[in-house]
C-alpha cells in the first residue's frame, strides 16, 4: 500500500465507510492496539506499560486531550480513524461504535500498543510456519500464571499467545522476534505449558485452539490482550479500546520497529 | 562486587559515610541517573521519556510517594541511597545534599534512567578504545541541533556524547551498543559533527575535549545529560537529581540490560 492509499483508506474509515477488520489491510504497515483512559489513571497505566514492556509495548501516548498520535501518524485522529471501538464503563462492555468524538474529553489520553501482526510477518518471511494463519483461525491465547508488575489499580496475569514451532526453528523464531521489542519481542516461555499455569493447550481462554504436531514446541509470546484485560479489571469509570481485530493503522513500516 | 558488598556499600551511602563519585564502584552493576518530579509534571516527563527513549531510557519509575525502585532495587530507598543529590528550584541549582528525606512528599515520582557506563564497559570488552577513559577525563558532550519530541513543558535539544572510534571498528561499536537500548543504545550519528550542529569538537558544552586521531571517526550517542537539561529548562518548582557522577547503583547487572 502506497502512502496515498493508506491516506484514502484512513479517510474512508473516518467517514464510516470502512468498518471491518484490518487484517490484510496495508501490508507492511504497523498496526496498533488502542486504549483510551483519563485523568490519573492514564499516568498509572503508562507506569504499568513501562513495567511490563513485553505485553504492553508503547508505540505512542498522546498528550491529555490531544487525539493525534504525533509520533506514529501525525495526520490521523484517534477518535475517528479506527474502524470500530469498544466502550467500557467500570470494566463492562456497554457499546460498540465507529466514532468516539461524542465521548472525547480534554483529560483523555490515548495509548497505542504494538501488536503481533508485525512479528508474525517477520516469522513468515523467515520461513517459519504460523499455524493459526494456515488454519484461517485466531491465535490461541491463555491466561498464564506470570503476574504483571502492578501500577496503581492496574494488576493481573499476563495473557500469552501460543504458536507451535518446529524444534529446529525455535532458535530462529527467537532471533527473528527479538528484533521487534515494540511488537512483544522475544517469547516469554518456550515449551512446558504447565510451568506457566496452562493445563490444557486445547482450551485457550481467547481465540482458537490449534494443533501442536509431533516435533513441534509450543512457544509463548506476551499478548496485547493483557493490557485490555488488566485495564478492564481495574474497572475505570470510562475506557475506550479498539474492537478486536479492528486495529489502528500507523504510518510506520514494520522495518521502522526493527532493532537492526 | 558480591551482593553482600553492594548491600554494605548502599548502607554506608545511606548513613552518609560514602559521598564520593560512583565510577569504579560495583563493576558490572547498572548505574542510573536520577530525576525526581512531582504532580502532573511527572506524567509529562514520563511521556517525554517514552517519546525520546535514546536520551531517556527509563529503567524504573516509582509510584507517587513511593521512594523504593521496586523494579531495579527493591531494598533501596532513593531518598538516601545516592551519595549526593542536587536540588533545583525553578531550574536553578539551590543546594547539594546527601539525603533528601526532608524534601520528600507524597506526590513525588522518581525516575531512574540508564547511563553510559554500561555500554562503555561493553565497548571495552569488545576491544574498542574509549578515549576519555584512556585520558582519565570526562566524556565530551555537545548540545546538538537534534530536537527532542516535546511533552508538556519538556522540550529542547538532544545532548550527545562523542567517542572517537577507529574506522575499522565503527560497525562493531554500533553492534555492541545496539544490545543496550536501556543504556542509550546505538549511536544517533556517525561522523560529520556539523550536520548535527556541532561546529567545533574541541569545545564541548559539558565534559572535556578529547583528540580525534587520524583514521578515527567521531561517533555520537544520545546522552543522559539531556533529560536533566530538559527538565531544568521547564523550570519546575522543585526537582531533585543525582549530582554529576554520583549515580544510583541498581541491583541489575549489565547483562540484564542486554537485548540478547
- A27 with A125, same domain: the answer is no
In 3D space, the residue among A52, A42, A44 whose CA is nearest the CA of residue A185 turns out to be: A52
What is the C-alpha to C-alpha distance for residues A64 and A108, in angstroms, rounded to an integer?
Answer: 5
Task: Give me the sign of the Cα torsion angle B177, B183, B184, B185.
Answer: positive
**Cβ contacts of A97 within 8 Å, gap of 6 or more:** A84, A85, A87
What is the C-alpha to C-alpha distance for residues A184 and A141, in angstroms, rounded to an integer?
Answer: 14
**Cβ contacts of A128 within 8 Å, gap of 6 or more:** A165, A166, A169, A172, A173, A176
Cell of B71: 523494579
What is the C-alpha to C-alpha distance for residues B60 and B210, in angstroms, rounded to an integer?
Answer: 33
Segment B218-248, tens digit of pLDDT: 999 999 999 988 988 899 999 999 998 999 9
Interface test with B, best of A44, A47, A61 (most B CBs within 10 A): A47
In chain A, which residues have their Cβ closer than 8 Å to the Cβ of B54? none
CATH at residue A63: 3.40.1640.10
For position B172, what pLDDT does the model report?
Answer: 96
- B89 with B160, same domain: the answer is no
- Percent of chain B clearing pLDDT 90 (strictly above): 92
- A109 with A123, same domain: the answer is no
Q: Which long-range contacts (CB under 8 A, 24 or more apart) does A2-10 make?
A: A3/A251, A6/A249, A6/A251, A7/A75, A9/A249, A10/A75, A10/A76, A10/A81, A10/A249
Nearest by CB: B61 against A47, A58, A70: A47
**Residue in this structure with the C-alpha cell 527467537, named with its chain if needed:** A174
Averaged pLDDT for residues B19-29: 92
Task: Give me the sign of the Cα torsion angle B124, B128, B129, B133.
Answer: negative
- Please give the residue range of the domain that contains residue A194: 117-226
Residue A149 pLDDT grade (very low, low, confident, very high; cuts 50, 70, 90) = very high
Averaged pLDDT for residues B130-156: 95
> For all residues of chain A together, what is the average pLDDT?
95
> Minimal Cα–Cα distance from B43 to chain A, Å?
6
Nearest by CB: A46 against B46, B152, B260: B46
Residue A1 pLDDT grade (very low, low, confident, very high; cuts 50, 70, 90) = low
For position B1, what pLDDT does the model report?
Answer: 61
Contact B51 A71 (CB under 8 A): yes
- A89 with A61, same domain: the answer is yes
**Cβ contacts of B1 within 8 Å, gap of 6 or more:** B9, B25, B26, B27, B28, B29
Strands annotated E in chain A: 29-38, 58-61, 85-89, 92-97, 108-114, 141-147, 157-166, 189-190, 216-222, 239-242, 248-253
What is the C-alpha to C-alpha distance for residues B167 and B233, in angstroms, rounded to an integer?
Answer: 37
- B168 with B189, same domain: the answer is yes
> Minimal Cα–Cα distance from A47 to chain B, Å?
7
Number of Cβ atoms within 10 Å of the Cβ of A3: 9
**Contact status, residue A220 vs residue A162, Cβ threshold 8 Å:** yes
Contact B71 A63 (CB under 8 A): no
DSSP B27: T
Segment A121-142, tens digit of pLDDT: 999 999 999 999 999 999 999 9
Cell of A246: 479492528
DSSP notation for B151-165? BTTB--EEEEEEEEE
pTM for the model: 0.92
Split into its structural domains, chain B has a count of: 2
Segment A64-104, tens digit of pLDDT: 999 999 999 999 999 999 999 999 999 999 999 999 999 99
- B79 with B32, same domain: the answer is yes
Helix or strand run (H / E) with residue B246 = none
Q: What pairing do the DSSP bridges indicate for beta strands B108-114 and A141-147?
A: unpaired
**Contact status, residue B54 vs residue B134, Cβ threshold 8 Å:** no
- B249 with B175, same domain: the answer is no
Nearest by CB: B61 against A42, A50, A175: A50
- B98 with B190, same domain: the answer is no
In 3D space, the residue among B23, B34, B21, B35 whose CA is nearest the CA of residue B83 turns out to be: B21
Nearest CA in chain A to B47: A61
DSSP B140: P
- A85 with A158, same domain: the answer is no
**Contact status, residue A175 vs residue A249, Cβ threshold 8 Å:** no
In chain B, which residues have their Cβ closer than 8 Å to the Cβ of A58? 50
- B187 with B216, same domain: the answer is yes
CATH at residue A143: 3.30.2040.10
In chain A, which residues have their Cβ closer than 8 Å to the Cβ of B72? none
Residue B24 pLDDT grade (very low, low, confident, very high; cuts 50, 70, 90) = confident
- A195 with A138, same domain: the answer is yes
In chain B, which residues have their Cβ closer than 8 Å to the Cβ of A50? 46, 50, 58, 61
CA B115-B33-B196 angle, to 5 degrees, is 55
In chain A, which residues have their Cβ closer than 8 Å to the Cβ of B154? none
- Percent of chain A clearing pLDDT 70 (strictly above): 100
**Residue in this structure with the C-alpha cell 575535549, named with its chain if needed:** B209
- A111 with A122, same domain: the answer is no
Averaged pLDDT for residues A53-72: 97
Amino acid at each position: 500500500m502506497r502512502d496515498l492509499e493508506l491516506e484514502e483508506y484512513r479517510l474512508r474509515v473516518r467517514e464510516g465507510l470502512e468498518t471491518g477488520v484490518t487484517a490484510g489491510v496495508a501490508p507492511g504497515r504497523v498496526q496498533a492496539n488502542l486504549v483510551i483512559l483519563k485523568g490519573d489513571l492514564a499516568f498509572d497505566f503508562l507506569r504499568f506499560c513501562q513495567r511490563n514492556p513485553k505485553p504492553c509495548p508503547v508505540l505512542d501516548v498522546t498528550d491529555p486531550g490531544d487525539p493525534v498520535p504525533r509520533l506514529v501518524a501525525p495526520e490521523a485522529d484517534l477518535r475517528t480513524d479506527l474502524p470500530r471501538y469498544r466502550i467500557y464503563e467500570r470494566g463492562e462492555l456497554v457499546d460498540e461504535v465507529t466514532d468516539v468524538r461524542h465521548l472525547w474529553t480534554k483529560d483523555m489520553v490515548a495509548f497505542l500498543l504494538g501488536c503481533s501482526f508485525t512479528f508474525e510477518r517477520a516469522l513468515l518471511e523467515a520461513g517459519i510456519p504460523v499455524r493459526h494463519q494456515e488454519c484461517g483461525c485466531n491465535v490461541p491465547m491463555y491466561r498464564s500464571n506470570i503476574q504483571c508488575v502492578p501500577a496503581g489499580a492496574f494488576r493481573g496475569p499476563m495473557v500469552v499467545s501460543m504458536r507451535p514451532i518446529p524444534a529446529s526453528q525455535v532458535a530462529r523464531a527467537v532471533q527473528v522476534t527479538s528484533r521487534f521489542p515494540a511488537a512483544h519481542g522475544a517469547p516469554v516461555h518456550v515449551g512446558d505449558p504447565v510451568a506457566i499455569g496452562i493445563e490444557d493447550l486445547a482450551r485457550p481462554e481467547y481465540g482458537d485452539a490449534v494443533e501442536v504436531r509431533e516435533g513441534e514446541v509450543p512457544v509463548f509470546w506476551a499478548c496485547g490482550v493483557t493490557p485490555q484485560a488488566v485495564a478492564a479489571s481495574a474497572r475505570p469509570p470510562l475506557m475506550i479500546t479498539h474492537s478486536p481485530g479492528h486495529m489502528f493503522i500507523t504510518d510506520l513500516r514494520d522495518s521502522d520497529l526493527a532493532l537492526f
